[in-house]
Every structure is written in structure tokens, then in C-alpha cells.
Amino acid sequence: MTSRLLLIILTVGAAHAQVTWDRLRNAQSEPQNWLTYSGTNFGQRHSALSEMTPSNVKDLRLKWVFQAASFEKFEATPLVADGILYTVQAPNDIIAMDAATGRLFWTYTYTPSKESRVCCGRVNRGLAILGDTLFMGTIDGRLLAVDAKSGKPVWNIPVARAEAGYSVTHAPLIVKDKVLVGVAGGEYGIRGFIAAFDAKTGKEVWRFNTIPGPGEPGNETWVGDSWKTGGGSIWVTGSYDAELNLTFWGVGNPGPDWNGDSRVGDNLYSDCALALDADTGKLKWHYQFTPHDELDYDSVQVPVLGDIQFQGRLRKVVMWANRNGIYYVLDRATGLFLTGKPFTKVTWMDGFDERGRPRKLNSAGSSPEGTIVYPGVQGGTNWYSPSYSPRTGLFYIPVWDDTYSRFIKKKDTYTEGQRYLGGFPGSTSFSLNRGAQTNTRKPQDGHGAILAVDAATGEKKWKLDFVDVTDSGILTTATDLLFTGNREEHFFALNARTGEVLWKTSLGGVLANGPITYAVNGNQYVAVAAGNALYVFGLR
């Protein structure tokens, strides 16, 4: 039986079945679907589909386009379940389409409260699905359950108060019968948390405070009441290991962003990797990438899980290219620091102690007069999904290379619902939220790149440089293809082993989301949003 025929049978066999937890847990076994934000719970954004290959990818052609009725950034990663593609039209409309043709089935329109306040765009990064129900966080701090067949609401619950600066922008993560979400709002002096809600009822089952209160471990890393406005937002989807029953999340910056004077201490669990028991929310371990951060180095990246050869033995690890410019490998069961290596110019630290704590440089904090630090406020990378290919053993990073900011500190006082920043990053060379605008930047301002590093060591293997930066995630496939894009409005297929550009097209809009791939009736598609539209390519 050919693999294509098998795929057709699998596709037909699964048609219109419910998306059970078993299916989500084993999502890697049905690569024709894209059932979670990162494709599987391991967060690798790697697909087993193999119809598109390095030799035929040059024949990709546009199959269909969905034009969003929205001028917000299109950051959502779609889901594909049994031939139906679901995505979010920013800020919070859900769209269901025929994944083969783009024909619309239904639109669920949600109008967020006027109390919504988001720092950096009225965006949403995607959905989760379980059974016949879709789940979406909203910019006014709510979690919605919507029927996947009818597009009608099932439940709608408050997660946190929009008027205090809380929002939910990331795609929820399903673990068993629970929907896991965290709150954004790190620029508003929120106190962050991750919570699990019963998928049937929306009832909260557990909550983990990313900023611990009095009596909770870690509260001693805050001075006085500073924990109350300590930030620690969550705005990118976590991952899950069923064997360990642990869910992994990255935590955002401490508040206020650029002035740590009022929050002396390490400020746990800001800028941390967290491993939580998925049933109880209890902390199993944490690792802090940037203690006492004054540079806005959110650790809001997808924790990428893999079982890799590390120093001669197979280890369960979490791989992490951090906004602070360093690539990390941690032991997934214990949180043990295994390695850390800069992947771009880094001037805020000069190495690690024997336990993996970074040696921060006192000269590289924000200051009233401004301090130039690499990487800049946008980071060496940011929330853009990386990819790990178990085939190549390489970890792929969307990089802002050799960029800097002049970090300026100022006094700030907290007022509920207002920005609480403690300064600002000056002299950053790039527009942080530029749309389809022109680029006249100088070479010394840095540039974007796609970088492949050895997943075990962080050693650089190849790099594709751009003139402009990139906000695009990365997808790899079982045929060693790598799909990504950039602010130059290009969408690429690269050879994942060499970085060679195999195919390139211009989509006329900035790519600010991660590509996905799926199949319908045995035909493989690759989908990516650029500007305000979702583009879908196929081979025939």
C-alpha cells in the first residue's frame, strides 16, 4: 500500500469524527490534521507529511486565499480537523472553512468589551479543539467555547478583568478534559496566572500564580507588595508530555518592565520555564532564564519537547531559544540546566555559574540615561514559533540578529488598567509593529535571519540572512523541507539540512504567524497568513 493511499484511507476514516483527547495526544499519527497550535503537544511544529519534497516544492501553486475582514495583525495559527480549517479573524471572530477550497461554513462573531486593553495589537494567536467544541481566549479576558459544527456559543466565562489590563491572546492548550489558558497584560502591572477550566462547563479546576503571593514559594523574591503588580504574563501556548503528565509554559516579563528598583530580587516566576502537574497545576520545577529582568526579555516561547541524544545518551529535554538571545537545553523531568549558548550578540551576561544561573553584567541594566544592550527589546527571537526536526536533529530559530536597544529607566506608579512600564526602550532600530511599510534601515541596525542550530549543543549549522527582520514562525516536514517567511513579505521553502532556498513567493504582507501543513483527500497543503489574508498552497 502506498503511503498516499494510506493517507487517503486515514483521512476518509477520520472524517467527521470527534477530536477526542486520545486523538490530540497522538496527533503525530494523523499528520493530515493540524489539531493543536504547534501541531502536536510536543510543540515541535514538525509534520510527518511527505508529498511535498525538495524536488517538487518548486511546483507549489496558490490553491485559495481567505481575506480577513480585519486590519489587525494576523497572528493566528489555524487548526485543521478532518477537512475543516478553523482560524481566528482578529480580534476574536472564529471562521470555519473547507480546508481544500477555502469556502466558508460559518463565522462566529465576538465583539470584545470596550474595556479591552492590549499593549501591542488586538490580536489572537489561535484556537484549541476538543470533541465538537472550539475554545478561544479573548482580548477582553474571557474564554469562549463554541460549537465546531454550528458556530454557536456553548459557554463564555471570565478569566480575568479586562479593565485591569488582563487579556487572553494565545491559543488554549487541551490536556485531557481541561482547557489551559494564561493571561496577557505584562505592560499593565497584572499578576499573571495559568488556569485550567473544565472543557464541558468552563468551571475553573486549578490555577497556578506565575507571581507567587505571600505563603507561596518564590514570594520571597519580591520586595514588599511588588508581587501584586509583578506581571508574569502568558501569551504563547505551552506544551505537554503525557508520560510525565507535565505541562510546560514560558512566563513573561516582570512588571514594571524596565525598572526593577521597586522589585528587588529574582522576581520569580517571571521569565521562567515552568513544568506543572497537568491534573493539579502544582509546580514540578522551574528554570529562570533572566533573573530580575529590566529588559523585557519575556520567556514567552513555545517550549519545544524532544527526546535527543545529549552527551552520549538519550534524554527527555525541553529546547528553548529565548528572547534574551540564548539557546537552552533543559532536562524535561527535572528542569536541570544542560546547556545554554548565545545564538546572537548578547551583552547582558557573560556566561553561567555551575547551576546554570546566568552571570548578569551590572553594566547592562536599564538606566536613567539609557544603556545600550544586545539583543534589543524585541529580543534575539520572540514569540514566533521555532521548529525542531527529529530527522535533522536541528532546532530552527527565527532570529533578530545583532539588534540592540537603549534601555531607559524612569519612575512609575501603578494605576489599575494603565500601562506600568518603568521606562522605555529607546533607539531601537526597528519598527516593532510595522505593517506593510517601506524599509530604509542601515546595516548596522541588525537584521533578521533563520538560524539552524544543533539541538543538543546550540552550535550554529547554517543561517539564512535577510535585510529586514522576521516575525514568522517555522514549520519543518518529514521530507526535510522548512517553511517560513519574513517582513519582506516572502514565504519560503528551504532545505532544512542546508538552508538552501528551494522556492520563494511574495505574499504582499508581513508574515506574523507560523505556517502549518495538512492534507485533504491525500493532497498536502501548506497554509500561512500574510498581511490580512490566509494563503494556502498545494502541488496540484
Residues marked active site are found at: 296
Q: Contact between 435 and other proteins (CB under 8 A)?
A: no
Q: Hey, is 180 helix, strand or coil?
A: strand
Among 249, 383, 424, 483, binds other proteins (CB under 8 A): 424
Quick one: 75 or 241, whose CB is closer to other proteins?
A: 75
Part in contact with other proteins (CB under 8 A); list of ranges 93-101, 190-198, 334-342, 406-414 = 406-414
Quick one: 117 or 284, whose CB is closer to other proteins?
A: 117
Q: Rounded to the nearest whole angstrom, what is the least distance from the CB of residue 190 to other proteins in the complex?
A: 15
Part in contact with other proteins (CB under 8 A); list of ranges 51-59, 153-161, 273-281, 363-371 = 363-371
| Exposure class string for 282-311: b at 16+ Cβ within 10 A, else e | ebbbbbbbbbbbbbbbbbbbbbbbbebebe
Q: Give the footprint of other proteins on residues 167-196 (CB under 8 A).
A: 187
Q: Rounded to the nearest whole angstrom, what is the least distance from the CB of residue 75 to other proteins in the complex?
A: 14
Q: Which has the closest alpha carbon to 143: 102, 172, 175?
A: 172
Q: Which has the closest alpha carbon to 66: 513, 522, 521, 540?
A: 513
Q: Are 185 and 193 in contact (CB under 8 A)?
A: no
Identify residue 436 by its one-letter amino acid code: A
Q: Contact between 368 and other proteins (CB under 8 A)?
A: yes
Q: Contact between 115 and other proteins (CB under 8 A)?
A: no
Q: Which has the closest alpha carbon to 422: 280, 238, 268, 229?
A: 229
- Site size for other proteins, by CB under 8 A? 40
Q: Are 90 and 118 in contact (CB under 8 A)?
A: no
Q: Contact between 439 and other proteins (CB under 8 A)?
A: yes
Q: Contact between 432 and other proteins (CB under 8 A)?
A: yes
Between CA 137 and CA 157 the distance in angstroms is 10
Q: Rounded to the nearest whole angstrom, what is the least distance from the CB of residue 383 to other proteins in the complex?
A: 14
Q: Contact between 370 and other proteins (CB under 8 A)?
A: yes
Q: Which has the closest alpha carbon to 239: 173, 317, 322?
A: 173
Q: Which has the closest alpha carbon to 70: 536, 535, 534, 532?
A: 532
Q: Hey, is 145 helix, strand or coil?
A: strand
Quick one: 419 or 460, whose CB is closer to other proteins?
A: 419
From the centroid of its chain, how far is CA 529? 15
Q: Rounded to the nearest whole angstrom, what is the least distance from the CB of residue 500 to other proteins in the complex?
A: 14
Q: Contact between 58 and other proteins (CB under 8 A)?
A: no
Strand (E) positions, 119-199? 128-130, 133-137, 142-147, 153-158, 173-175, 178-182, 193-198
Among 153, 213, 426, 508, binds other proteins (CB under 8 A): 426
Quick one: 130 or 300, whose CB is closer to other proteins?
A: 300
Site string for other proteins, 487-526 (x = CB under 8 A): -xxx------------------------------------
**How many CB atoms within 10 Å of residue 458?**
20
Q: Contact between 436 and other proteins (CB under 8 A)?
A: no
Quick one: 72 or 98, whose CB is closer to other proteins?
A: 72
Q: Which residues bind other proteins (CB under 8 A)?
A: 117, 119-122, 187, 368-370, 377, 405-406, 408, 410, 412, 418-419, 421, 424-429, 431-433, 438-443, 465-468, 488-490
